[in-house]
Structure 1
Amino acid sequence: MVEAARNAFAEKGFHGTTTRDIASAAGMSPAAVYVHHPTKESLLFQISEHGHRAILDSIRAAVDEHETPTDQLRALVWTFAQRHAAHHTSARIVYYEAAALTPEHRAQTDALATEISEVVLGVLRAGIAAGEFSCDDVALAGRSIAGMGVDVARWYDDTGSWTPEQIADHQAQTALRMVGAG
């Protein structure tokens, strides 16, 4: 059912999707949707929460696998960009349908987004402290790097000429240049 909701939200947007659309795509009756999820918004929240947690877990793992801030940033940005390209449909929903979440659910996903930002900022601060990075405004650099990765979900196309890995390689190198890594 979650996959059916994801596909319907991707095709029609949250507000353009009905529970009947979701049920039809899942091969169920409309009433069956409410057996599993109390509202259409709860499906959106499940998709959003899963997307944020997947990114958070993957970038934390990428950072933990490397010792130097330069290698950590390269791995973090590579992972962030690659996941946003490989899972662009879900990522678009997470970022562009967030306004449809209830205030409580939005606060929960915003808290996860803050954790993601803190991982990025932590690596940048460590790089500055180690003398590996030079940037005047860590917060702005962090937002720029994260925004670059998030935006992949908006423009990436499976039929395009770049693979998720090529995009990830490019963005990782770009991020290192942004922070003056040697």
Structure 2
Amino acid sequence: MSDAWDDVVGGSKAAARIRTAAIDEFAEHGYGGTTTRRIAARLGMSPAAMYPHYASKEELLFAIAYEGHALALQVVENADRPDAEPSVRLASVIGRFAAWQAENHRWSRVIQYELAALDREHYRTIVGLRRQTTQVVRGVVDAGHVSGEFTLPDAEGVTLALMSLCVDVCRWYPSGRYDDAATISDLYADLALRLVGAVR
């Protein structure tokens, strides 16, 4: 990863353990209901031992959000297959993005619903990563629209709908028979193709 990644997230094993514990605490009690003392207690350490890694609870949330959004962007970029037909690209991108949300549903829930706690600069950084992820999906939707493979009246609206479908997985997953990422991937890939009116 980049130097920016190490500066924001922290590359040590101790920092990774702190982030994992914080995700669990934030997911169970919310950002407002969690203290650094609770996070430290979960790890059997003192709050003071956390400060060399993250100077504040907000900085810790930013690291968690940055890592999650950067990885989600990487997942979407890696899933895209620019040389393939738009329908193949869209199924791959949306299927993998939805699966990532399922595989990391507690983490995703935190970074989707606790962003208001970030300071303005940190929030803008996360919004930038989210826009990059959306742009990957929009590029595939536009390619299908231009080629005539997709039939849709509003590329921007459909893109927003696709993104919303995927990120909302973290809110309800797992549920009933939808309890594994592969099932979610197949379902959402099919839904995406139906939503864009893909010619099959």
| Aligned positions of 1:31-180 closer than 5 A | 31-64=48-81, 67-157=84-174, 160-162=176-178, 163-180=180-197
Change (3 A) 1:136 1:65: closer
Matches of 1:34 and 1:7, distance apart in 2: 19
In the alignment, what sits opposite 2:44? 27
Residue 66 of structure 1: how far off its partner (Å): 5.5
SS in 1 for 2:80: helix
Give the 4+ runs in structure 1 shifted more than 2 A: none
Q: Give the residue type in structure 1 aligned to 2:150.
A: F
Give structure 1 stretches of 5+ with no counterpart.
none
Residue 171 of structure 1: how far off its partner (Å): 0.9
TM-score by length of 1: 0.96
* Number of residue pairs matched by the alignment: 181
Q: Give the residue type in structure 2 aligned to 1:57.
A: Q
Please tell me the root mean square deviation across aligned C-alpha atoms, in Å. 1.2
Residue 65 of structure 1: how far off its partner (Å): 6.8
Residue 67 of structure 1: how far off its partner (Å): 1.3
Give structure 2 stretches of 5+ with no counterpart.
1-17
Change (3 A) 1:176 1:152: same
SS in 2 for 1:107: helix
Per-residue CA deviations over 1:83-141 (Å, capped at 9, x if unaligned) read 00110000000100000011100000000000011111100001111111111100100
Q: Judge which range, 56-65 or 17-26, deviates more.
A: 56-65
In the alignment, what sits opposite 2:20? 3
